[in-house]
Amino acid sequence: MLNTKIFEELSAKLSAAADSSPVKDIEKNMRALLTQGFAKLDLVTREEFDIQAQVLARTREKLAALEARVAELEAQSK
């Protein structure tokens, strides 16, 4: 059987090497660039989109009801 302590030590050494490598800096820079790019795109979250879709659906229902009411009033006035 293999000693699990060896694997733990190897894992710790690999993590330390990855943390001190330039890969972390590149990852940070890429995240910053992507964040800036997305901010410029004027995006909304899914939650905000869903809320606006619900507001639009309610507005359409009210508009349909008002159109029906106006048609009814026009029919009565004739």
Amino acid found at 7: F
Which phi and psi angles does 20 have, rounded to 5°? Answer: -95, 0
3-state helix, strand, coil in the chain (%, to 5): 85, 0, 15
Amino acid found at 47: E
Give tens-digit pLDDT for 20-75. 777 777 878 888 888 888 778 888 889 999 999 999 999 999 999 999 999 999 99
Counting the structural domains of the chain, the total is 2
Q: Which residues span the domain enclosing 27?
A: 1-43
pTM to 2 decimal places: 0.49
With beta carbons less than 8 A apart as the criterion, state whether 22 and 28 touch: no
DSSP 20: T
Quick one: 50 and 77 in the same domain?
Answer: yes
Quick one: 33 and 49 in the same domain?
Answer: no
